[in-house]
Amino acid sequence: MISRLAAALVVIAIAGVAVADPEADADRAFRAASQRAAAGDPEALAMFEALGAARPLTRWTDDAWAEAARVAERTGDFARARRALDQVIALGTDDALVRRARHARDRLMAATGGGQWDALAREHHRLVAEVFGGGDPQAALEALEQLARDNPTYPQAAMALLAAAQGWEHEGETSRGIALLRAALAISGTERPRIALALTRALIRHGELDEAGKQLDELVASPGADRAAIAELREKLDTAGRRAGIRKLLWSLLVVIAGIAVGVLRREAGSWRRAARLIARPPLEVVFLIPVGAVLAVVAQTGNPLVAKAVVAIVLAGIFVAWISGALLEARRARRGRIGASRALVQAVLAVAVVAGAAYLAIDRDRLLDLVGETWEHGPVPR
């Protein structure tokens, strides 16, 4: 009888432990809140806060407050984020987690002036999300730029200008973006190395290589700069310099070849008037190329806009070269009665060289060479 009673008491005790297991309950609550947060549910913040405030303390308590701080900052509720980080620091048992929380709280305090700039930081946060969230960002970019200019003492004014600069560059307003980056650099503090790197990248993309080189030299002397990023930008600057030299050489060659073509056409035609009449009448090869080129250009418009611009430029260059080449051959035939094999071969080689040079310039104009190189090395991106 006593053994049966003892067994029953043991069963009851085990059942009681199983029913009242705070660690298991906290684990389930944390997973549920995490799923809500991943889905963007606004209730996730309250769920994390409730778990952090629950007693007794569990191994999930400090993690819940850390996640609450992250969600609150992401949604622009900086006061709740600071309170949650205070809880992590006060209750945390993981030294690494507490250290990260202190760093995050210091960063947040600096960004919001300890709460003084909460409303402005919230608007800053909203505008940045709107700029990079898809749709037309023009109005948000104007507002973000104005926010930074109207509040020069706002701790994140330089970062607001950085975001606006990147947004304008994405919109094709590279010069405006660079101007904003220069303004951001002028008022920057601890974020100066990051802004200087962004400015250097933009200058390289825009072809302002001398200023980009000066920025890199200054970054090398900066103790807080990312050395790996500097090395990468130095390589990109060297590549950009080589490509600039190639562009100058190609333009020079194209000008020389065009001058030779005009001189030869004038000589073969016998007069400028006769040369003009030859050019005015499209050769047979051009009549064939125009519809083919038009189809290529139309198809290209359905893809990447930058690639479409390059395709249109290459098609126009090919039609132009075919037109001039045909006029030269017609003038030669009218004057000599036939076209020699050597003349045809030389003209064909020059025509191919001109089209190839024009294609390089068209691709390089919109910085597509890197994209072409990546596609060649890794293949097209799967859809």
Give 157-222 as a DSSP string. HHHHHHHHHHHHHHTT-HHHHHHHHHHHHHH-STTHHHHHHHHHHHHHHHT-HHHHHHHHHHHHT-
Q: Domain residues of the chain, as ranges? A: 2-114, 118-225, 246-378
- Using the predicted structure, report yes or no on whether residue 18 has a pLDDT greater than 50: no
How many secondary structure helices (H) and strands (E) does the chain include?
18, 0
The answer to whether 278 touches 265, Cβ cutoff 8 Å, is: yes
Give the rounded percent of residues in the chain with a pLDDT score beyond 70. Answer: 91
What's the whole-number mean pLDDT along residues 89-94?
Answer: 93
With a CB cutoff of 8 Å and minimum separation 6, the contacts of 130 are: 137, 140
Residue in 191, 236, 182 with CA at minimum distance from that of residue 209: 236
What's the whole-number mean pLDDT along residues 107-118?
Answer: 92
Give per-residue pLDDT as tens, 370-383: 666 656 555 554 44
Cα 311 to chain centroid distance, Å, stands at 22
Q: How far is CA 16 from CA 4, 20, 22, 27, in A?
A: 18, 6, 12, 18
Give per-residue pLDDT as tens, 279-308: 888 888 888 888 888 888 888 888 777 788
pTM for the predicted model, two decimal places: 0.71
Local structure of 137: helix, strand or coil: coil
Q: Which CATH class, in words, describes the domain spanning 2-114?
A: mainly alpha
Give per-residue pLDDT as tens, 296-339: 888 888 877 778 888 899 999 999 999 888 888 888 888 877 78
The CATH fold assigned to 118-225 is 1.25.40
Fold match, 2-114 / 118-225: yes
Q: 15-29, 133-147, 172-186 — which is least confidently predicted? A: 15-29
Taking all residues of the chain, what is their mean pLDDT, rounded to a whole number?
Answer: 87
- Using the predicted structure, report yes or no on whether residue 11 has a pLDDT greater than 60: no
Residue in 91, 88, 139, 83 with CA at minimum distance from that of residue 115: 83
